[in-house]
Amino acid sequence: MLLADGASVRARPGPPDGRNSPYRLAGAQHACRTGRRNNGPIEAATPVTGARITPPAPETANRARAGSRLLPAVGAAGLLGVLGSVFLICAGAASAPSMYVPARAGGWPDWLAGPLRGIEVGLSQQGFQTLTLVMCASYLIVLLAARSLPWRLLAASIVAAQLILLVGPPLMSQDVFGYLAFARMGSLHGLDPYTHVAAEVFADPVFPFIGWPFQRSPYGPLFSLASYGTTPLGIAGGLWAFKVVAVSSSLGAVALVARAAGRLGQSRRWAAAFVGLNPVLLELAVGGAHNDTLVMLTIGAALALTAGASPRFRSASVALVVGVGVKISAGLLLPCMALAVPSRRERWWVAASAGLSLIALVAVGLVGFGAHALGFLNAVGEQQQLVATHSLPAETARLVGLSGTPSWWRDLFLGAFLVVLALALWRTARGADWRLAAGWATLALLLSTAWLLPWYAIWLLPLAAVSADRRLRAATLIFCAYAILIHLPLADPLLSPPGGRIHYVVHTGIPGFRHRLELTGFQIVRDVQLDLRW
């Protein structure tokens, strides 16, 4: 019998128990005398018997070959389903003003509809629902076959889907015009977006397109100052700049998550498909040009930096602080990651790195906004005084027959979140995977907040993608399905509150300001049910 390096083994009969066999001793003495090492015949200490290898049955082999060919074909069909549904939704939304482009309230200029305007596909409510369901089903098919798909095909499909969204109109939200409004307030009108609201500059051309005229900016100072750079581009140029940022940061996050998954010994293809083709990311986050894609990018960077044999926790902490400079929610991962550092000394260095980065963030805020550098924290607190119609606290309050969503009911959910967070930190300190702990803590936050916007679900995607826990992945997919479901008519009988949607009309004397939601004074407006689907 030949060994891997070419040496041969000659079997000789011997006793069953070869621990003190003379054959073994003789062979060892012979090797010592000759000084020979794996380059000649070696006598086996125990008998070597031949083993017959039975070839697989022809039917089994044929089925295996057919399965190996079928799975990539099914996955390719799923990719076509995602791309086709994304294209038809974007083209249909661009064809004419509809509820799927809320910014139509400000008019329907060519730069808002985008280059797909001339296709004239049309998009009815039933058509939107059908295309969305096709996208979701195709996404699940891709996940089943992702490991067998060629990497280039999968990557090209992810890029293509997001480029289609880039040239389409802003879907399902007007938040991107809020970014523009806050930027123009500071750079053109000299108003601090942390202390003033867009309604104070109602003559600005961006005002008819915004949906939150009485809200102060809840975004971090890094994002707020960077957004000032869009002002010279005008409204149209600023919109497309934010769309490019959303697509670029989303694709960057997908690449980083795939790299992290590969370093952790998991499938890069599956992780990339799980994040990059997720309907919530495509239809809601990238489609609406939300800055949550920037938060997802910083989370992806932290995951990639801490994966592999040489984790870089200090750099990862800096990445997460940059995320805090966009939205404070990125800071939820910091304590979980810090507790995962193996040595106590390095843990202190990571804490120091995060602390210095936070000090630098505050310094940037002080330069840009003076004493109100942390004003976004107040705006975030004010948001929590509102209740989204389809948040879990609101839905469960209706289920048990409560009137509205009382503050004590919301406090119960907050307490549950704190318990889950404490448990996640405790498990991380005892050696559990910090990514898994952070994933469950993030999911608990999304389930407990009364101010739930559906695109927040993408915060969870990178953590679930690199996790080996099927329960977290399944819970993430269920939550994403819920975020999509609340936009579809088929969910109305189940999820819509009795009495229909609640609207608030403002009479301020401002031209063109009728039929807007009354959001003045978040501190005193409580238990207000807001339908955030359109």
- The better pLDDT of the pair 43, 489 is held by 489
Q: 15 pLDDT band (50/70/90 cuts)?
A: very low
Interval 324-343: pLDDT, tens: 999 999 999 999 999 999 88
How many angstroms separate the CA atoms of 259 and 166, rounded? 24
pLDDT of residue 227: 96
pTM of the model: 0.82
How many angstroms separate the CA atoms of 69 and 148, rounded? 9
User: Mean pLDDT over residues 461-467, rounded?
Assistant: 96
Question: Of 293, 269, 271, nearest to 281 (Cα)?
Answer: 293
- The better pLDDT of the pair 383, 143 is held by 143
How many angstroms separate the CA atoms of 525 and 508, rounded? 18
Q: How far is CA 38 from CA 31, 72, 493, in A?
A: 9, 45, 76
pLDDT of residue 18: 41
145 HSE (CA, 13 A, CB side): 22
Which residue has 């088929």 as its token pair?
490
Question: Of 335, 272, 274, nearest to 302 (Cα)?
Answer: 335
DSSP 117-160: GGG-----HHHHHHHHHHHHHHHHHHHHHGGGS-HHHHHHHHHH
What's the token pair of residue 426?
A: 């405790």
Q: 157 pLDDT band (50/70/90 cuts)?
A: very high
Between 160-164, 470-474, 506-510, 522-526, the lowest mean confidence (pLDDT) is in 522-526
Q: What is the mean pLDDT of the chain?
A: 84
Judge whether residue 348 has pLDDT over 60.
yes
Backbone angles phi, psi at 43, to 5 degrees: -85, 130
Interval 270-301: pLDDT, tens: 999 999 999 999 999 999 999 999 999 999 99
- The better pLDDT of the pair 104, 534 is held by 104
- The better pLDDT of the pair 22, 205 is held by 205
Question: Of 455, 407, 464, 466, nearest to 295 (Cα)?
Answer: 455
How many angstroms separate the CA atoms of 302 and 324, rounded? 13
Which residue has 């990571």 as its token pair?
350
User: Mean pLDDT over residues 216-245, rounded?
Assistant: 96
Interval 478-527: pLDDT, tens: 999 999 999 998 888 878 665 444 333 333 444 444 333 333 222 223 33
